Structure 1
Amino acid sequence: MITKGHQQSARCACPESMRLKTIHITGIFVYLLLPILILSGLGGCKKQEDRPVASYPDPVELDFDQIKERGTIRMITRYNSSSYFLHRGMDRGFEFEMVSRFAGDHGLKVEVILLGTDDDPITLLNRGEGDLIASNYAITPDRIPHIQFSSPYNFVNQVLVQAAGQQAITDSSGLDGMTISVRQSSSYFTTLQKLRDQGHNITIDVVGEDWNTEALIHEVAEGRIQATVADDNLYRIASNYIEGVQSGLVLAEQDTVAWGVRRNAPQLKEKMDEFMAEHFRIRESDGRVLRSAFLNVLRRRYFEDERQASRFRDRSFDMVYTGYISPYDDLIRDIAQEAGIDWKLVLAVMAQESQFNPNARSWAGAVGLMQIIPRFSRVEDEALLYDPEINIREGVRYLQKHLNRYTHLDSLNRYSMALANYNVGMGHIADARHLAVQLGNDPDEWENVADALLRLMHRKYYQHARYGFKRGIETVNYVEDIMNRYSRYHAIAELATHFRERSMDDAVSSR
């Protein structure tokens, strides 16, 4: 469920003269909140000298044993083209894939908690709304009192980003007199404060919290701001599709990136540290960074393969700018609206059934985007079911029929029951509801029906069921996966709407 709420030796490839050795801090900016901000002005910027002392709630008592019992681990992250994003409607992201691997190792599913524009990750973590922060999150002095961190999984360097036409800054003396724009909550802000404390005449231009690093890099390229700061791995990718910028001085070396976890969750931290030890370690003999094959594949996919990484970022940008999740959004919206169904629920079913492949065909003979079984369809010619519009209409008709059976239920139970029917048919769900009653449970609560479906895999129960044995775990997982994806699509669509509206407001105010 989603709610809104690289280097080969950890060293920079820049020339020695371009490294600023006097700064050694930890921190990595959580970049790329949403790329749509590239299109809007920097309204709301202000000069600010000091970061206020943060106040966070005490952490709830919630550790790995409870997470394991729940069956899901909640990942707090931002929607961006590195940590978590949608690619052709499917979940992607460097941190998302790492957390998914960790979850899989422990038999858990991943629930994504998307940070909204005003959300603070530490607050959500300590309240128990999430279990870990995984968003290119750095170990910084101001965060350490409030949370603990896993062992690291990456090091990055902070670099100064300037317009290509400017004279490149190659030593710290060139910083004097510069105005550098960053978010106040970023580790870049801390770096610039340290430089200023060392006597450098730097003006720190604090921008709004809903600005991201790539948007600021674009502002540098357009000449609207003088400079910003970026992580070197992000800069390398961004410079492939943002022209007119250059990286200069290394402001901070080897910032340590890790997962954030509550201070009173020692079990979870231990499991995380064990996971990190399998995939990332530093060899004591020579300080060389050693990564697992899995982590190397992720690094190439999201950071080092420039063509692939740029394609991901283009997709992420398109989704936020246009609000489109799949190529079939307009068609789904129209058909779902006619049926009175939330189009994002239909979209989530489609992603689960076919991953948006109109030519998909299952071993059971289900075809097309919504995986329609021809013998249950009103369409006589099976070949027509490969037509996206016809297939979607059949799928929506079928889904609507099941939704109409449960109009007396709240939306969560109604959607869950209808999805279960869509997956396995009315007969097996009727068996499960009947068993729930026999067990003294409310058959209108999906949790009770899910429990009954699991029981119906055992002979003790299915021998008395009208429709017999069914692998109920598959249906339970099917419903959970679609409801989680539906929540993700809903949250992301809200974020996209917010930023499109903001962009229009900024465009009007700038006239």
Structure 2
Amino acid sequence: MKYLVIILLLLSCSDSNQPREKKLYGWKEIQQKKEIEFLFSNSSASFENGRDGVPEGFEYELARQFAKDHSLKFKYRTLESVDQILEQISLGNGHIGAASVTHTEYRSENFNFGPSYFSVHQVVVCKKRKKIKSTKDLSKLKIMIPTQTSFTETLLYLKSLYPELVWEEKEDENSESMLQEIWKNPEYCTMMDSHMAALHRRYLPELKIVFKFKKENKIGWVMDKENTELKKKVEQWFQLKSSQKLVKHLKRKYFEFIAFDPYNLKVFNARIQDRLPQYLDLFKKAAQKYKMEWELLAAVSYQESFWNPKAKSPTGVRGIMMLTRRTAKSVGVTNRLDPVQSIEGGAKYLSKLLHRIPSYVRQEDKIWFALAAYNVGFYHLRDAMALSIWQNENPTAWPSIEKVLPLLAQRKYYKKLPYGHARGFEPVIYVQRIKDFYDILKSKTKFSTL
């Protein structure tokens, strides 16, 4: 019965993004109503609910600032595809589409575009390194792509030149879920835009960009063709120094690739010798206070920061436990770069997450649930638990949740969930790596090498 309650709650929220039949007007009407409505897609670049349950995304932050600078109420909806966004814009059911929309000849004829704030290239991404020197070499690859994308157009053109080229197209998939497929099946590769590849390689650094197409594609906000006054306001806003500074900051925050491999076990063993001793007593003290194993807390910290107390990420997380500003405030941390505060705060936050895990979850699996929440956010974990019931999986067992979490990146699943899209494959990898680091530390403790 308690599972049924969860499902009913989800169903009550699932229709919030359905198109509404209403007519929106030009800039004068926007000013009169004192509100503006943006349309986003469910993606890491456009809009998603972050690990703290707070909306985030490059496009979301940019749009919110536009509304703020013009003293307008910021309204938004999320849709499943660029095609849906364009349809709603053409019907007047939204003012601006902000979803990494590329300028094409057809779109430029039928819609207004704001200034381009991104120039991207299509790239081929694989888990294994491949030797690709030209487009002709792409016929050597097994390629999977989502349906109804510009990647199909590219491949169809190449097939006219190289008939031996073949690929698979997947229904109800997007670029992010394609990455999950090639991660599980490294014989395959996929295609995506370069800025999205940079975003995902932050969390999956083993991915390789094996080929980059020369053609440059422009990205910008899209508006109704007749809404020329709104277009002018958008153009003027993007010309402001403050707006240009914001775009630069958000590009760095969301798309700058940080080259590292947290899974290099040789480096891990070296760090056990040269870094861990400096913080060992802090891990033991915090772990004892919050009733957890210090090896587990240390493993989380290594996965987060390499045990670097000054670690900083463009996304805003800081310190040896890589706390967000919001999380740090919730656990009383005033200086995230202080290892004493950070380790204490990280342990306290993980303990709080453990206490939020429902009592019906298997005791031995609660820590893995909590770690997944530490990575992707508690509300996305709750979505996964509800989804596991629909999938005839066990919502109380980590092996089941581990199967379901990646589905949060697929349209046919996340569109039914209250907290929507998430990079669900990342917490699965995150937990597995921590398990491995934890096992190594436990082994060294057992044989008195720590």
TM-score range, shorter chain: 0.5 to 0.7
Kindly report the root-mean-square deviation, in angstroms, between the aligned alpha carbons of the 2 structures.
4.0
CA deviations over 1:364-385 (Å, ceiling 9, x no partner): xxxxxxxxxxxxxxxxxxxxxx
59-68 vs 223-232, which moves further: 59-68
Cα gap change, 1:113/1:248 in structure 2, threshold over 3 Å: closer, same or farther?
same
Q: 2:213 aligns to what?
A: 251
Q: CA shift at 1:168, angstroms? A: 2.5
Q: 2:280 aligns to what?
A: none
Q: CA shift at 1:250, angstroms? A: 1.0
Q: 2:149 aligns to what?
A: 186
Q: CA shift at 1:218, angstroms? A: 2.5
Cα gap change, 1:59/1:174 in structure 2, threshold over 3 Å: closer, same or farther?
farther
Does residue 170 (structure 1) correspond to residue 170 (structure 2)? The answer is no
Separation in 2, partners of 1:359, 1:139: 46
Identify the match of residue 300 of structure 1 among 252, 267, 270: 252
Separation in 2, partners of 1:305, 1:169: 22
Q: Do the aligned partners of 2:123 and 2:193 also contact (CA within 8 Å) in 1?
A: yes
CA deviations over 1:270-315 (Å, ceiling 9, x no partner): 11122223369xxxxxxxxxx8222211111112274636788xxx
Q: 1:102 aligns to what?
A: 66
List structure 1 runs of 4+ shifted beyond 4 angstroms: 58-61, 116-119, 309-312, 491-508
What code does the residue aligned with 1:175 have?
A: L
211-220 vs 237-246, which moves further: 237-246
Q: CA shift at 1:162, angstroms? A: 1.8
Identify the match of residue 270 of structure 1 among 232, 235, 254: 232
Separation in 1, partners of 2:145, 2:27: 36
Q: 1:240 aligns to what?
A: 202
Matches within 5 A, 1:371-386: none
Cα gap change, 1:140/1:493 in structure 2, threshold over 3 Å: closer, same or farther?
farther
- Unaligned 5+ segments in structure 1 are 6-57, 281-290, 313-325, 328-354, 361-387, 389-490
Larger radius of gyration: 1
Identify the match of residue 87 of structure 2 among 118, 123, 146: 123
Separation in 2, partners of 1:201, 1:311: 46
What code does the residue aligned with 1:207 have?
A: K
TM norm structure 2: 0.52
CA deviations over 1:440-483 (Å, ceiling 9, x no partner): xxxxxxxxxxxxxxxxxxxxxxxxxxxxxxxxxxxxxxxxxxxx
CA deviations over 1:113-160 (Å, ceiling 9, x no partner): 011479811122222322111011111234334422112111112111
Cα gap change, 1:115/1:204 in structure 2, threshold over 3 Å: closer, same or farther?
same
What code does the residue aligned with 1:227 have?
A: C
Identify the match of residue 69 of structure 1 among 32, 37, 46: 32
Does residue 113 (structure 1) correspond to residue 118 (structure 2)? The answer is no
- Unaligned 5+ segments in structure 2 are 1-14, 259-311, 318-325, 334-351, 353-378, 394-399, 405-450
Q: 1:229 aligns to what?
A: 191
Cα gap change, 1:261/1:64 in structure 2, threshold over 3 Å: closer, same or farther?
same
Matches within 5 A, 1:204-219: 204-209=167-172, 211-219=173-181
Separation in 1, partners of 2:72, 2:332: 31
Percent identity over paired residues: 19
Cα gap change, 1:136/1:496 in structure 2, threshold over 3 Å: closer, same or farther?
farther
Q: Do the aligned partners of 1:122 and 1:146 also contact (CA within 8 Å) in 2?
A: no
Q: 1:203 aligns to what?
A: 166
Q: CA shift at 1:64, angstroms? A: 1.3
What code does the residue aligned with 1:208 have?
A: E
Q: 2:57 aligns to what?
A: 93
Cα gap change, 1:80/1:202 in structure 2, threshold over 3 Å: closer, same or farther?
same
Cα gap change, 1:141/1:175 in structure 2, threshold over 3 Å: closer, same or farther?
same
What code does the residue aligned with 1:75 have?
A: F
Q: CA shift at 1:214, angstroms? A: 2.4
Q: 2:114 aligns to what?
A: 150
Separation in 2, partners of 1:310, 1:104: 21
Identify the match of residue 4 of structure 1 among 12, 17, 40: 17
Q: 1:350 aligns to what?
A: none
Separation in 2, partners of 1:499, 1:178: 34
Cα gap change, 1:356/1:135 in structure 2, threshold over 3 Å: closer, same or farther?
farther
Separation in 1, partners of 2:122, 2:221: 19
Separation in 2, partners of 1:59, 1:270: 24
Separation in 1, partners of 2:388, 2:80: 14
Cα gap change, 1:227/1:300 in structure 2, threshold over 3 Å: closer, same or farther?
same
Q: Do the aligned partners of 1:116 and 1:495 also contact (CA within 8 Å) in 2?
A: no
Q: CA shift at 1:243, angstroms? A: 5.3
Separation in 1, partners of 2:387, 2:196: 22
Q: CA shift at 1:177, angstroms? A: 4.6
Local SS of the residue matching 2:107 = coil
Local SS of the residue matching 2:108 = coil
Q: CA shift at 1:82, angstroms? A: 2.1
Cα gap change, 1:157/1:498 in structure 2, threshold over 3 Å: closer, same or farther?
farther
Does residue 82 (structure 1) correspond to residue 55 (structure 2)? The answer is no
Q: CA shift at 1:221, angstroms? A: 2.4
Separation in 1, partners of 2:160, 2:315: 37
Q: CA shift at 1:174, angstroms? A: 0.6
Q: 1:379 aligns to what?
A: none
Local SS of the residue matching 1:203 = coil
Q: CA shift at 1:62, angstroms? A: 1.7
Does residue 133 (structure 1) correspond to residue 97 (structure 2)? The answer is yes
Q: Do the aligned partners of 2:198 and 2:257 also contact (CA within 8 Å) in 1?
A: no
Local SS of the residue matching 2:198 = helix
